[in-house]
Amino acid sequence: MNYFILKYTNDMPDKFGGETRGPLISIRPKYSADVGLIEHEKTHVRQWYVVLALGLLLCTLLTLLVSPSLWPMYGLAPFLHQLLYKLVRVYRRWCEVRAYRKQIATGGYASNEFAVSALVDKYGLRLSREEARALLID
């Protein structure tokens, strides 16, 4: 059983070949054979599951230790990864660097310059090209 749902569609921002929302992966049909891109997006799915589990654990602890009236916070857990990704640049950088490392390792690309350019231009990370290269190598 897969831990994700994959669909091929062009319904996403023009600058992306794929995107992930929770366990749902969308890939442009022209990239359907790009193993690296699919692995990149699967990395984001795994990140979502980890943050979901941590969020549920935190909600459980707060409910048990602080007050049962906090149980509605469980409803926020599925959105915690997306909130962190959108609002916390360091988290977004960590997510994308991990995903691009996986993409480079599995994609068989001639160069990793596409990933350097993406980290510099697409995610608002405020990285120089040298910083992006260094993050991909670590």
Tens digits of residue pLDDT in 16-53: 999 999 999 999 999 999 999 999 999 999 999 999 99
Would you state the pLDDT for residue 93? 98
pLDDT at position 2 over 80: yes
Query: From CA 104, how far away is CA 26, in angstroms rounded?
Result: 19
Helix (H) or strand (E) holding 120: helix 113-121
- Residue 14, pLDDT > 90, answer yes
pLDDT at 51: 96
pLDDT of residue 1: 77
Rounded to the nearest 5 percent, the helix, strand and coil shares of the chain are: 65, 10, 25
The residue-averaged pLDDT of 83-102 equals: 98
Bridge partners (DSSP) listed for residue 7: 26
* pLDDT given at position 70: 85
Q: What is the pLDDT of residue 17?
A: 97
Tokens of 49: 């599951």
Q: Percent of the chain scored above 70 by pLDDT?
A: 99
Higher pLDDT, 94 or 72: 94
Measured CA to CA in angstroms, residue 87 lies from 16, 23, 37, 41, 125 at distances of 20, 20, 24, 20, 11
Tell whether the model's pLDDT for residue 80 goes beyond 90: yes
The residues, any chain, with a CB within 8 Å of residue 111's CB and separated by 6 or more, are none
Per-chain mean pLDDT for the chain:
95
> How many CB atoms within 10 Å of residue 5?
11
Residue 29, Cβ neighbours under 10 Å: how many?
9
- Taking CA atoms, 23 is separated from 45, 46, 105, in Å, by 5, 8, 22
CA 39 and chain centroid, separation:
11
Only one residue has tokens 């350019």, namely: 117
| Residue 71 scores a pLDDT above 90 | no
